[in-house]
Structure 1
Amino acid sequence: MLPSHLYAQYTPPLRGPLLVTGTFGELRSDHFHGGLDFRAAVGTPVYAVREGFVSRIKITGGGYGQAIYIDHPDGKRSVYGHLEVLAPELLDTIRSLQYARETFEVDLSLGAEDFPVTAGQRIGGVGNRGFSFGPHLHFEIRESATDAPLNPLSLGFTIPDTRTPQLRELKLYEFTEEGEPGATRIFNLLEKELPDTIRVRSDRVGFALKAFDRQNVMPNWNGIYGARILVDSVPVFSFTYDRIPYEKTEYLNALTDYVEWKRNKSWYYLLFARVPEAMFWKSVPDGSGTGVIRLPGNNPVAISAVVRDYAGNESIARFIVQRDRSSVSSAAPATPPDLPFQYFLPQGEASVIDTGGLRLELGEDALYAPLRFRYVRLVDESAGYLSDTHQLQDEETPLHGSGKLTLQPRAPIPERLRDKVYIGRCGKDGKFSSVGGEWLPDGGMMTRIKGFGDFAMLLDTLPPRIRIERFGTDLRRAAGFSLLIDNDEGGGLTYRGTVDDKWVLMEYDAKSGRLSHTFEGKLIAAGSSHRFELTVSDSRGNEARFERTFRR
């Protein structure tokens, strides 16, 4: 948190009320949210929060879309993402670079003398670019030296918040003798299902909360700032989201109930940690532990689960836990029997599985707990399948970082088809999406995977599909034109558009597959006919072409 005397040196990035639709540390798929989201209409002016200089401008079809980075004299860096509009001097530089390099995507680093800014200077406008699904400003504050995101609320912005967080559900975990979470129960706190005393069989228990935070004037259910759990008034686990380094953000999967997220899209904050490395917030000792609660004999213990927001509002769930192995009716359901498994993979050690047709290599930090690994090989000789399908564990088991996966084809692949082969991962709809793949000297194909699931070597000879969204033959009153690109297998796309054989800027929106061109200046002369040509290639080299003559 910044010292209070520095608060006044930061001004809000938007004028008027700051409408928060996403909080710092909010739970997202495989990562914590690294900033604050502010709702605003497209084009709403965005301002530098402090003096400094523009250190980076990044333009991409995904991610933050159009983003500006500003370095400040106190060692902080502010980030403004999903922008629709860039300040004219910045846009001119980006346009010149895009046309010089003949590419839409740009990642430009700048020096202190290139674009200095003052506090409150307009740098752009709110948008919906990149992986944004509604107009808003994504705002971050980071450490310049490490690029680690900090909680932007530490800057002292005025955001009225007198609402207490909402506690929706409490989840109980009874640990097995091996120290793994076993039987579970869920108590609906809104329906007041939490009893005064919870009776358990195990001598070790842990808890998780489904909880949300809201600010005064917004209906959004946002992520919480912090939580703690106390046993007989003594803290045994706590966290606050003030600083979340990027190299730690994936530990979200060890700090939440991953099965609930994958199965029900439901987030539970664990009030215990399964691996010490996940507790990134503990830069200094705070008196708390790992959150696993040991019950002393049959003596009852008083539990308090506390959730707080950044403004200091708290909500508390209080109850008693008592071990009672003789109580059958009130005990948690028995842990279901383990499914058959072929390999035991220890946590904290590197592992290799090699079956001949498959080789899976996992690093020592790949697992959050010892794993009884299930592997099934399914023979499938359907058209396009060049290998069997390999079922690796399941999608409800988190994989930290990535693993190296190598598959062998069922038969040697003809040279003319090698560039069309990829490793695909099967989704719930039965369709495969590309996870890439590189040929090895022994004839196998290797890629890196970020999760378990079903994988196979597949053949892709279908080019991307190009569809018209807005592209008439008479564009004299139009601001531009746009096309939609479909690429079912996924993987990277490359594209090149020309008008009268000269490269033109086609802006790509990854979430919709849209390629669009906006008429700017005199690059395409008005009052005459022009010939547009577009070539789109997927990651396997399949190519599609589109041509159209239009009048401007």
Structure 2
Amino acid sequence: MTKNFLLAFLMFNGILCAQSDIPQDVFIKPLKIPTVFAGTFGELRSNHFHSGLDIKTQHRTGLEVVASAGGYVSRIKVSHYGYGKALYITHPDGHTTVYGHLSKYAPAIEAYVKEKQYLAESYEIELFPNPDELQVNQGDLVAYSGNTGGSGGPHLHFEIRDKNERPMNAQLFGIQAPDHRDPVIKDLVVYPLADSSQVNQSQFQQKLNFTKQQDGTFLAEKIRAYGPLGFAVGTIDQQDGANNNNGIYAIETRLNGEKTLEVLMDKFSFAETHYLNRMIDYARYEGERERVQKLFIERNNPLSIFKYEKDKGIVNLTENGSNAIYSIKIKDIQNNTTTLVIPIEIKKEEILTPNIEKTTPYFVQADASQNFEVGDWELFIPDGAFYDDYFLDISAKTDALHL
């Protein structure tokens, strides 16, 4: 009992140590109403990770938005798209807070913006005030909430960025909503990853069923498998005050108790966010509208959210006739936890459903640029255009090229 408690303490303490450099008393909530999230940091969106918190405004616009900390207005952007009317405040410790989808700015800032718009003869404008022009104290009124830009309903988009303009998880700084709900697991998929791999006598990916146990954990159906495998999970988080499908904070996987992968949504850079399409099973999302994230790291996936990996998170099952346990532990930022266990019988069997790859004359390599002549057409594919190597299905007519 003592050993188990000590292990749990050390694991939790490791998470606290990782967050020890994040101040807990610098930033305040930017709205004066109870905090309820419509969206959270790291949420899986179309082609990108969500870079902030979407805070509900009780279906209203015009709520007072206050400076989360003291500093100066360093950037103002007014656009028909994106964040709409947005405000950026730089703080003495190097962090920047971002406030998006605003209806209008506080009077002094609004007057500053209107003057610049008239001079530029443009509604859309981007401004970078000097540090001494628009200074604010913590709690000062800086804007009013709205629904401008690419917003699907009234809310405030709020971010905290580090000195290198990388979005950070604002919940780590104490901007949180009441949350006593465990993360939800919606989908579980297993992938044979090599010619030698098989799951239930098949070389194709399979969706697995799972059920909730009396102790609150989830148990998946037992599989018979051999060779290198990968798993993927579809998961969301929800807080007490809303049923929005929000993003999770941490995922940890283990094989027979040994950690194989750790994912942590603490921060990322805008330069890497489009690699979300590499992390998820994009084909499944396009075909089934199921967004599952792979718990193994494929080539051309440089995401910094992977904090630990052993063998890229790939499970290599070679001890024919033995058994294994693969587990997935999912946490939100307030340490609510959901655990899923997959029992595995390691068994090399006759493959009844082989994966026979369709070949064509047009084989593209992800790490090399190539030219193809197709009829009267010439097709150039640059280095890095694809994540993987593929046989392309290409046909040409006089007026059209089909790829």
Q: Which residue is 1:309 aligned to?
A: 332
Pick aligned residue for 2:190 from 168, 172, 190: 172
Structure 1 residue runs without a partner (length 5+): 380-387, 393-552
Give, as a single letter, the amino acid of the residue that structure 2 aligns with 1:111: N
Q: Which residue is 1:256 aligned to?
A: 280
Instruction: Please tell me whether residue 391 in structure 1 is matched to residue 402 in structure 2.
Output: yes
Instruction: Please tell me whether residue 58 in structure 1 is matched to residue 82 in structure 2.
Output: no
Q: Residue 246 of structure 1 aligns to a residue in which SS?
A: coil
Give, as a single letter, the amino acid of the residue that structure 1 aligns with 2:177: I
Q: Residue 93 of structure 1 aligns to a residue in which SS?
A: helix
Given that 2:220 and 2:341 are in contact with CA atoms closer than 8 Å, whether structure 1 keeps it comes out as: no
Distance 1:2 1:56, change over 3 A: farther
Given that 1:167 and 1:189 are in contact with CA atoms closer than 8 Å, whether structure 2 keeps it comes out as: no
Larger radius of gyration: 1
Given that 2:220 and 2:342 are in contact with CA atoms closer than 8 Å, whether structure 1 keeps it comes out as: yes
Given that 2:377 and 2:396 are in contact with CA atoms closer than 8 Å, whether structure 1 keeps it comes out as: no
Q: Which residue is 1:199 aligned to?
A: 224
Q: Residue 41 of structure 2 aligns to a residue in which SS?
A: coil
After TM superposition, give the deviation of residue 287 of structure 1 in Å.
5.8
Given that 1:273 and 1:279 are in contact with CA atoms closer than 8 Å, whether structure 2 keeps it comes out as: no
Give, as a single letter, the amino acid of the residue that structure 1 aligns with 2:86: A
Distance 1:50 1:360, change over 3 A: same
Q: Which residue is 1:74 aligned to?
A: 93
Instruction: Please tell me whether residue 27 in structure 1 is matched to residue 49 in structure 2.
Output: no
Given that 2:30 and 2:66 are in contact with CA atoms closer than 8 Å, whether structure 1 keeps it comes out as: yes
Structure 2 residue runs without a partner (length 5+): 1-17
Q: Which residue is 1:362 aligned to?
A: 382
Instruction: Please tell me whether residue 296 in structure 1 is matched to residue 314 in structure 2.
Output: no
Question: Which structure 2 residues correspond to residues 496-535 of structure 1 after superposition, within 5 A?
Answer: none
What CA distance in whole angstroms lies between the structure 2 residues aligned with 1:173 and 1:240?
23
After TM superposition, give the deviation of residue 326 of structure 1 in Å.
2.6
Instruction: Please tell me whether residue 95 in structure 1 is matched to residue 119 in structure 2.
Output: no
Q: Deviations over 1:140-179 (max 9, x none)?
A: 11113x2111111111124221111011221011122289
Give, as a single letter, the amino acid of the residue that structure 1 aligns with 2:194: T
Q: Deviations over 1:359-408 (max 9, x none)?
A: 33322x332221112212245xxxxxxxx23222xxxxxxxxxxxxxxxx
After TM superposition, give the deviation of residue 70 of structure 1 in Å.
0.5
- Is the deviation greater in 61-70 or in 168-177? 168-177
Q: Which residue is 2:172 aligned to?
A: 154
Q: Residue 7 of structure 1 aligns to a residue in which SS?
A: coil
Given that 1:31 and 1:252 are in contact with CA atoms closer than 8 Å, whether structure 2 keeps it comes out as: yes
Q: Residue 296 of structure 2 aligns to a residue in which SS?
A: coil
Q: Which residue is 1:322 aligned to?
A: 345
Given that 2:263 and 2:308 are in contact with CA atoms closer than 8 Å, whether structure 1 keeps it comes out as: no
Given that 2:210 and 2:221 are in contact with CA atoms closer than 8 Å, whether structure 1 keeps it comes out as: no
Q: Which has the higher contact order (CA 8 A, sep 6+)?
A: 2
Give, as a single letter, the amino acid of the residue that structure 1 aligns with 2:38: T
Given that 1:164 and 1:308 are in contact with CA atoms closer than 8 Å, whether structure 2 keeps it comes out as: yes
Q: Which residue is 2:206 aligned to?
A: 185
Q: Deviations over 1:460-490 (max 9, x none)?
A: xxxxxxxxxxxxxxxxxxxxxxxxxxxxxxx
Given that 1:168 and 1:190 are in contact with CA atoms closer than 8 Å, whether structure 2 keeps it comes out as: no
Given that 1:30 and 1:253 are in contact with CA atoms closer than 8 Å, whether structure 2 keeps it comes out as: yes
Distance 1:187 1:248, change over 3 A: same
Q: Deviations over 1:206-261 (max 9, x none)?
A: 10011110111111121111212100111111211111101110111111110111
Question: Which structure 2 residues correspond to residues 130-145 of structure 1 after superposition, within 5 A?
Answer: 130-144=149-163
What CA distance in whole angstroms lies between the structure 1 residues aligned with 2:196 and 2:303?
22
What CA distance in whole angstroms lies between the structure 1 residues aligned with 2:197 and 2:108?
59
What CA distance in whole angstroms lies between the structure 2 residues aligned with 1:47 and 1:2?
25
What CA distance in whole angstroms lies between the structure 1 residues aligned with 2:111 and 2:348?
73
What CA distance in whole angstroms lies between the structure 2 residues aligned with 1:150 and 1:142?
5
Q: Residue 80 of structure 2 aligns to a residue in which SS?
A: coil
Aligned length: 375
Give, as a single letter, the amino acid of the residue that structure 2 aligns with 1:306: K
What CA distance in whole angstroms lies between the structure 1 residues aligned with 2:221 and 2:209?
13
Q: Residue 320 of structure 1 aligns to a residue in which SS?
A: strand
What CA distance in whole angstroms lies between the structure 2 residues aligned with 1:319 and 1:264?
23
Pick aligned residue for 2:246 from 214, 222, 230: 222
Distance 1:28 1:370, change over 3 A: same
Instruction: Please tell me whether residue 272 in structure 1 is matched to residue 296 in structure 2.
Output: yes
Give, as a single letter, the amino acid of the residue that structure 2 aligns with 1:255: M
What CA distance in whole angstroms lies between the structure 2 residues aligned with 1:44 and 1:248?
33
After TM superposition, give the deviation of residue 36 of structure 1 in Å.
0.7
Instruction: Please tell me whether residue 9 in structure 1 is matched to residue 26 in structure 2.
Output: yes
Give, as a single letter, the amino acid of the residue that structure 2 aligns with 1:31: H
Structure 1 length-normalised TM:
0.64
Give, as a single letter, the amino acid of the residue that structure 1 aligns with 2:323: P
Pick aligned residue for 2:255 from 210, 231, 235: 231
Structure 2 length-normalised TM:
0.87
Given that 1:67 and 1:83 are in contact with CA atoms closer than 8 Å, whether structure 2 keeps it comes out as: yes
Q: Residue 205 of structure 2 aligns to a residue in which SS?
A: strand
Q: Identity across aligned pairs (percent)?
A: 29
What CA distance in whole angstroms lies between the structure 2 residues aligned with 1:354 and 1:151?
48
Q: Residue 347 of structure 1 aligns to a residue in which SS?
A: coil
What CA distance in whole angstroms lies between the structure 1 residues aligned with 2:394 and 2:187?
34
Backbone CA RMSD of aligned residues: 2.4
